């Protein structure tokens, strides 16, 4: 397995997921803006509709009041004609008769006529008050509609908080830990015909040369990085030069040595 492959795969997936979250956030915000624009258009239409409706209500009230005045005047004219034609005092005065009794009769008849006229005026004023109440009710209803429409548009909208950046793994550290894992899971791989050891100098520390074989290979004492146990063996970089067929490059990029092909024995110190 390539060293650090797991960390690289994790980082790649984390970055892809982060970009996906950013795109989802952007699309959601664009949709929110589109809906907000529609709501604002609806709000403007609502205001126009309430103004038109209120204007129509006031016009209807004025029309009703005008009809009430016209009806009141018509009644006044009819009552005046009735008063002129039915008043006994007026008839007697028109026939040439005079006297206090005639004057009293005229006064009584005229008082009744004025009383009826006063009642008509009172009814007209009452009708005007009722129409004013209807106008105030229409205005309050329009105002309520405007406030409800405003309540749906008065909130300042903002996009969702951006997702936190992904937590990436340290690839270098992962590679180092993978190398240690390779060492810890067994420095040697036994097969039916050969013993192959991890002999790459990069995996070792505290390296000390303690001798040399007949073929010229150095014999070294060392320990694998992170381990206390000491070993004696060769270095792969020297084996490549003297017995190249004994050096094997692993998939992880580190060299191993087939000790059955060289004159150095791998053993614990």
Q: What is the pLDDT of residue 179?
A: 60
Least confident range of 11-20, 107-116, 183-192, 220-229? 183-192
Contact 9, 149 (CB under 8 A): no
pLDDT-above-90 percentage for the chain: 27
The secondary structure of the chain as a DSSP string is --TTHHHHHHHHHHHHHHHHHHHHHHHHHHHHHHHHHHHHHHHHHHHHHHHHHHHHHHHHHHHHHHHHHHHHHHHHHHHHHHHHHH-HHHHHHHTT--SHHHHHHHHHHHHHHHHHHHHHHHHHHHHHHHHHHHHHHHHHHHHHHHHHHHHTT-SPP-PPPPPPPP----HHHHHHHHHHHHHHT-SEEE-SS-EEEE--GGGEEEEEEEEE-TTS-EEEEEEETT---EEEE--HHHHHHH-GGGEEE-TTS-EEEEGGGSS---EE-
140 found inside a domain: yes
Domain edge (last residue) among 107, 128, 151: 151
Q: Is the pLDDT reported for residue 194 higher than 60?
A: no
Categorize the per-residue pLDDT at 190 as very low, low, confident or very high, splitting at 50, 70 and 90: very low
115, 198: one domain = no
Q: What is the pTM of this model?
A: 0.40
Least confident range of 59-68, 74-83, 213-222? 74-83
180 found inside a domain: no
Q: What is the mean pLDDT of residues 190-218?
A: 83
Domain edge (last residue) among 127, 151, 175: 151
Least confident range of 40-49, 61-70, 134-143, 189-198? 189-198
52, 114: one domain = yes
pLDDT tens across 79-133, in order? 777 766 666 655 665 666 666 666 666 676 667 767 777 887 888 888 888 888 8
Q: Is the pLDDT reported for residue 185 higher than 70?
A: no
C-alpha to C-alpha distance for 24 and 161, rounded to whole angstroms: 12
Number of domains in the chain: 2
Domain edge (last residue) among 136, 151, 166: 151
24 found inside a domain: yes
Q: What is the pLDDT of residue 91?
A: 60
pLDDT tens across 158-176, in order? 888 888 998 887 877 666 6
Residue 41, domain extent = 5-151
Name the average pLDDT for the chain. 81
Maximal C-alpha separation, the chain: 173
The closest alpha carbon to 203, from 148, 153, 254, belongs to 254
Q: What is the pLDDT of residue 191?
A: 42
226, 120: one domain = no
Q: What is the pLDDT of residue 181?
A: 54
Strands 255-258 and 247-249, how do they pair? Answer: antiparallel
- HSE (side-chain half, CA atoms, 13 Å) at 189: 12
171 found inside a domain: no
165 found inside a domain: no
């Amino acid at each position: 397995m390539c060293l650090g492959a797991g960390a690289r795969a994790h980082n790649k997936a984390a970055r892809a997921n982060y970009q996906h979250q950013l795109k989802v956030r952007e699309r959601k915000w664009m949709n929110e803006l589109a809906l907000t624009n529609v709501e604002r258009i609806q709000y403007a239409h609502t205001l126009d509709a309430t103004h038109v409706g209120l204007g129509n209500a006031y016009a209807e009230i004025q029309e009703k009041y005008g009809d009430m005045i016209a009806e009141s005047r018509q009644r006044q004219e009819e009552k005046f004609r009735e008063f002129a034609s039915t008043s006994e005092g007026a008839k007697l005065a028109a026939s040439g008769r005079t006297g206090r009794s005639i004057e009293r009769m005229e006064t009584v008849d005229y008082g009744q006529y004025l009383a009826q006229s006063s009642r008509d005026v009172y009814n007209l004023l009452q009708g005007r008050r009722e129409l004013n109440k209807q106008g105030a009710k229409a205005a309050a209803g329009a105002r309520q509609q405007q406030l409800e429409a405003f309540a749906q548009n008065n909130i300042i909208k903002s996009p969702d908080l951006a997702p936190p950046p992904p937590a990436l793994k340290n690839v270098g550290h992962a590679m180092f830990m993978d190398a240690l894992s390779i060492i810890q899971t067994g420095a040697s791989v036994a097969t039916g015909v050969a013993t192959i050891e991890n002999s790459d100098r990069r995996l070792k520390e505290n390296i000390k040369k303690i001798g040399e074989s007949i073929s010229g290979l150095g014999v070294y004492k060392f320990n694998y990085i992170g381990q206390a146990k000491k070993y004696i063996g060769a270095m792969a970089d020297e084996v490549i030069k003297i017995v190249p067929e004994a050096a094997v490059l692993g998939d992880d990029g580190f060299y191993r040595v087939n000790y059955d092909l060289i004159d150095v024995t791998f053993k614990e110190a």
